[in-house]
Structures are given as structure tokens and as C-alpha cells.
Amino acid sequence: MTRLITAEIARLLSRRFTSIALIVLLLGLGGYQLIVNKSLSPLTGEQLAAAQRAYEQSHQGWVDNHDKYERDCRNTGGAPAECTMPEPSLATFTEDPTPFKEVATTTLEVSTVLVALGAFLIAASFIGAEYSSGSIANWLTFIPRRRQVFWSKLLTIIGFSALLGAFAAALVVSAALVLARLHGSPIESLTEIAAMGLRSVLAVVGLTVLGFCAALLTRHTAGAIGVLLGYVVVWFVRRGPLNSLAWAQRLTPWTPEAGLAAIVGHGYSYSVPIENVTPDGARIEWVERTVSLTHGAVYWSILLTLAIIGSLLIFRRRDVV
């Protein structure tokens, strides 16, 4: 088994698609640090001066016009609360740097999505290319023990995705830490961020396994991509045209993306529209509900177990030529 895994690791790392995907991911994560840098950067002297000028102009306009505006508003029957023109403040025209915790959390969420999708494609291509080229048949002729072959491939891609997810999480958090120190931003909640980074690795591994199983079942990389795109269309319809339908939003806890979001974010909040009929007519209220970390972990454990068992049974019995 060890020799099989060693051979699979060598094949995975020698593939051109793997190298290209890793380079694209690295460039994407590096490019996103420009946004992180902007979020953590305080306003420059020029920006502060521009904000001060805008504030002074707005305040002067308020001084000149607010009495007349409030008087006219009251004369037309407006309520006192509606007719009050608040005095502008300088804080309205300036923007404080985003807190480090918020920046690091958002960065981890973005990197998890990018790395998980990249790992999904790498895993799908890893097994899909063997079916497309016919090399899987030669490999099974050389080593006819299908169960060992299956597990060696799956364990290889799981280990690779776990290392990739851990490296990406450490990279983006370290970059955010360096930028925060450069800009003098207070650093807090490192333990929570580290825990979130570890959970993001689980999300990357989960999507990687699904990519592997989808490509194995469809016998082609494009088949796995088609499954992913098909689900994206379903997600778009549920979150778009069906957004105002209560039954569509009640399905959220049983969707894969909600489970992943609950795992990474230690819980996931969503809203369900509830229609209330009053004497004044129907009114829709949005009720917030939460998917727990435990729910997401159990959901994905069952999903991956079913996907792996189904793939193994089919791989053991199906003709692969």
C-alpha cells in the first residue's frame, strides 16, 4: 500500500495541471492581499485633507439651510422627528481601517473558497485523466487489486488537499498579520482565527473528495466540472428567483454549501421569509436561523461517506476499459 501511495504522489506532483493550478492559486491569494492591505491601511494625509474639506462644505450647508428646511417641513405637516436635519460630523466623511479580526476572517473565507475549488479541479483531473487516456486500465492490469488502488488514490488526494489547505490558511493569515503590524492595526482573536484556519482545511478536503468521486463516477474531468456547475445553477436559482419563498430557504440546512459555511465559520446564519397577515395587509418578515457546526460536520460526514462507499463499489465492479 505504501508503494502505491508513493507512486500516486509522484504522479500527482508531476502532472502539468497540478502545477498550473497551484500557480494560479498562489497568484490569486497573493493578489487578494492588495485588498487586505487597503482594508488595513489608515487614511493618508491627502485623503484626510479631502475628507476635511468635504466635511466643512457639508457643515456650512447645514448651518445655512437646516433652520429653513426644518421650518418648511413642519409647515407641510411633517412630524418633528422627520423634520430634524442632523448635523454632519467628520466621522461621516472618514473611514477607519477595518479591524484585523474582520479582515483575517474574510481573507480565510475567500482563500477557502478559492483553494477548495482548485483542489476540486485537481482531484477531478487526477482521476479523470486516467480514464480519458486509458492509463487506469493499464494500471489495473499491472496491479489488479482494485480496492488498494482506489484507496491509494483517494488517500493521496486527501493528504495533498489537507497540506494545500493548511498552507493556504497559514499563508493568508501570516500575510494579514504582517500587514496589520506594518499599519499599526491592533491584533486580536488569534486563537479564533487559528481555529477557523484549521476548520477551513476540513472544507478543502471535503470538496476535494467530492471532486475525486464525481470524476470517478463520470469517468471524465469534465463530468465533475459539469456536476459542480449544475449545482451552482441550482444554488443561484434558490438564492435568486426563489429567495422570497419560505420553503426554498428552509432547505438551507440541508445544502452542502451551508454545511461547509457552518464548519468554517463555526455556525452559519440564514434568513427565512415569513408572511404575516395583518389588518393592514400581508407583510413579510425575515426570521434569522442558524446552522450549527455540529450539524454541518455530521451532514458532510454522511455525504462524504456515501460518496466514497458508492465510488468504491462502482470502481470495484465496473469495467474501466
Report in angstroms the alpha-carbon separations of 78 from 70, 73, 235, 254, 319.
Answer: 9, 5, 45, 49, 79
pLDDT band at 204 (very low <50, low <70, confident <90, very high): very high
pLDDT tens, position by position, 83-120: 666 766 655 655 667 788 888 899 999 999 999 999 99
Q: What is the pLDDT of residue 301?
A: 94
Average pLDDT over residues 194-215: 93
pLDDT band at 50 (very low <50, low <70, confident <90, very high): low
242 vs 174 pLDDT, higher one: 174
Q: Which of 70-79, 166-175, 246-255 has the lowest mean pLDDT?
A: 70-79
Q: pTM of the prediction?
A: 0.82
Q: How far is Cα 261 from Cα 137, in angstroms, rounded to an integer?
A: 38
What the block records as the C-alpha cell of 48 is 484626510
pLDDT tens, position by position, 1-20: 778 888 888 888 898 999 99
Q: What is the pLDDT of residue 205?
A: 95
Range among 71-75, 91-95, 119-123, 177-181 rated most confident: 119-123
* Nearest residue to 51 via CA among 93, 92, 87: 93
The total of other beta-carbon atoms located within 10 Å of residue 206's CB is 26
Share the mean pLDDT of the chain.
82
The pLDDT of residue 220 is above 60: yes
The pLDDT of residue 297 is above 90: yes
Q: What is the pLDDT of residue 4?
A: 81
Q: What is the pLDDT of residue 58?
A: 66
